Amino acid sequence: MHLNRVREKISREGLDGFLFSSQPSVFYLSQFSSTHAYVLLTAEGKKVLITDGRYLLKAEKLFTPLGWEVREVTSPLFENLTQIITDYGIKKLGVEGDRLRLDFFEKFKCKAGDKGITVIPYVGFLDEFRMVKTPEEIEKISKAVEITEKAFLNLVEFLKENRKRLKELTEQ
């Protein structure tokens, strides 16, 4: 599974953990779709899904049985996030430098520094894993292509059947 390979890379980079904050990365690592979630992976193998109260119960129900720890992020955001990271003993933390807004990164780095955490931005940390598709990912892609083809063929058929009516509507 790619989580183990990502954890190995975290260790190779000399990090204690990595905080993934972009929706694509969070979904890739956890299959959790949320507008406000983070994935914290530690070098020791802990998998932590961090989300706000809107998604907390859903996340606990889905992820706790799979060996994930689920934590709630509250306000103030930066203090709360750094506290969660501190709870796992992380002193050297990687972040998605290419996916964070500069103001978020600067504020987070400052708050983390107050707790003795060194924040290191990375560009494309997951790229090498995302390039190679697992059998499950290939199956999902095939299914998506199949659905897209059916939708396209239905649209073509609809346009053929309604060409005359569509032409009349556009000429008015």
Secondary structure of the chain: what % helix, strand, coil (to 5)? 55, 15, 25
What pLDDT is stored for residue 155 in this prediction? 93
User: Domain map of the chain by residue range?
Assistant: 2-131, 135-171
Q: Tens-of-pLDDT digits for all 172 residues of the chain?
A: 589 999 999 999 999 999 999 999 999 999 998 888 999 999 999 999 999 999 999 999 999 999 999 999 988 889 999 999 999 999 999 999 999 889 989 999 999 999 999 999 999 999 988 888 888 889 999 999 999 999 999 999 988 888 878 778 787 6
Q: Which residues contact 106 (CB under 8 A, 6 or more apart)?
A: none
What pLDDT is stored for residue 134 in this prediction? 83
- Write the Ramachandran bin of 47: left for phi over 0, alpha for psi from -120 to 50, otherwise beta: beta
What pLDDT is stored for residue 1 in this prediction? 57
Residue 32 structure tokens = 């959790």
Distances (CA, A) of 13 to 17, 85, 94: 10, 18, 9
- Residue appearing with tokens 């953990």: 17
2-131 has CATH 3.40.350.10 classification: yes
What pLDDT is stored for residue 132 in this prediction? 85
Beta-strand pair 118-122/92-96: parallel
Q: How far is CA 2 from the centre of its chain?
A: 13
